[in-house]
Amino acid sequence: MPPFSLSTFTAGIIAPLVGFAGTVAIVIAAAQAVGATPGQTISWLAAISLAQAISGMALTWRYKMPIIIAWSTPGAALIAATGGTITMPAAVGAFMLVAVLIIATGLVRPIGDLVARIPPGIASAMLAGVLFKFVADVVLAAPGAPLLVLPLVVIFLVARLVHPASAMLVVVAMGVGLTYALGLAGPLPGDLGLARLEWVTPSFEAGALIGLGLPLYLVTMAAQNLPGLAVLRANGYNPPVGPVLTVTGIASLVSAPFGAHTSNLAAITAAICAGPDAHPDRAKRWPAGIVYGLAFILLAAFADPFVALFGAMPKALITTIAGLALAGALMGALSIAMGDDKTRFPAILSFATAASGVSVLGVGAAFWGLAIGLVALGVERLCHKIGIG
């Protein structure tokens, strides 16, 4: 019997509520961007919730440490930024590629070493370019719905100072309440029930595999798995990197045909379950990971009402929630992108290209942002090597 305590149980309940409520709008936006039907959107949300719950509980039980698995929020933003250029079957094909690459990274160390050679500044600049539009859209939404958007921004600014981890949970709750108070909510369907998984036959298209799959893999590794490992290590754990990546990759591969994008290590929600607030004794914190998984299984079962609720909300609310939820990730990505003066100019080019939303040869802006940044860095290094500049 796991050594449950009130603190580990509380941490295991708070973490999924924070992670789910704070970023579910981004996942729904991603599904809409690739043309998912309402049924496929529900399946996407349910499948990825089950994947992260089951894989996280298995890893937590096996290694007796709170290994918290989440969906890739920056990855969902990357998918949403495709702007309708990729179909749902093609997106599923890209998700399966990402899963295979993550499994290979867990099993074959040189692949991980190759990914690690990509300068953090360039990868972060590409991510920042993807995230920028979502944060900027909050400003653009304000003039059209000031009584909804501006109060939520103020609430977010105050809440993140009081308790950063719960700030988005407060924003979502207040946003839904304010929407109904202002009479801006649409009708809810009357036939809500338990979620059902829907199979989506994948289509392996070069544009989606290169333009979405490769950037999604890099974003998942750089913006999710590496910070997730850092959180566990900062709290005194030594997570088994290879098995963790392999298990999350397998979970992603199994869930992808049901619409789910990538499962990976959590960072913010992991800090809730792995930190001293979960339990003073580090060896007794791991049950929080079991509670976390059980909570996500419950959330998966009721994905239908969540999708319906967000579907009834005005676009301004969804835009505001998504933008505020990604503000911290944008800040972190920009800090890393601009932190090294040796890669700063190539990083600016990468950021500008990714933020532009340009699509060339059916390949999206995220890939071109990464490619241009790496080319610019290569040119600079070559010039320095031959004595130019």
Q: Tell me whether residue 174 is in a domain.
A: yes
Q: Which residues of 68-87 are buried (b: 16+ CB within 10 A; e: fewer)?
A: bbbbbbbbbbbbbbbeebbb
For 283, phi then psi, to 5°, come to: -70, -10
Per-residue pLDDT, 116: 67
Cα–Cα distance measured from residue 261 to residue 256, given in angstroms and rounded to the nearest whole number? 6
CB-CB contact of 374 with 122 (8 Å) = yes
Give residue 191's pLDDT band: very low, low, confident or very high (50, 70, 90). low
Q: At what angle do helices 88-107 and 241-255 cross, to 10 degrees?
A: 160
> What are φ and ψ of residue 4, in 5° steps?
-65, 145
The radius of gyration of the chain's CA atoms, rounded to the nearest angstrom, is 20
Confidence band for 1, pLDDT divided at 50, 70 and 90: low
Residues 159/167, Cβ–Cβ less than 8 Å: yes
Domain-located, residue 170: yes
Residue with tokens 């909804």: 148
Cα–Cα distances in Å, from 369 out to 92, 137, 248, 373?
22, 20, 27, 6
The pLDDT of residue 50 is above 80: yes
Work out the burial of residue 348: count CB atoms within 10 Å of its CB; fewer than 13 is exposed, 13-18 middle, 19 or more buried. middle
Of residues 228 and 254, which shows the higher confidence score?
254
User: What is d(CA 229, CA 265) in angstroms, rounded to the nearest whole number?
Assistant: 7
Average pLDDT of span 30-54: 93
Query: Whole domain around residue 76: which residue ranges?
Result: 6-385
Domain count of the fold of the chain: 1
Instruction: Give the N- to C-terminal CA distance of the chain in Å, as an integer.
Output: 65
Query: Is 208 part of any domain?
Result: yes
Strands (E), 170-278: 263-265
Confidence of residue 2 (pLDDT cuts 50, 70, 90): low
Query: How much is the pLDDT for 207?
Result: 86
Amino acid at 24: V
Q: Do the beta carbons of residue 30 and residue 91 sit within 8 Å?
A: no
C-alpha to C-alpha distance for 247 and 245, rounded to whole angstroms: 6
Instruction: Note whether residue 191 is domain-resident.
Output: yes
Answer whether residue 1 is part of any domain: no
CA angle 96, 102, 104 (to 5 degrees): 105
- Poorest-pLDDT segment among 43-57, 62-76, 87-101, 373-387: 373-387
Does residue 194 lie within any of the structural domains? yes
Residue 327 falls inside a structural domain = yes
Average pLDDT over residues 132-160: 90
Q: What percent of the chain has pLDDT over 90?
A: 30
14 pLDDT more than 60: yes
Q: Is 79 helix (H, G, I), strand (E, B) or coil?
A: helix
Pick the range with the lowest mean pLDDT from 17-21, 52-56, 127-131, 178-182. Answer: 17-21
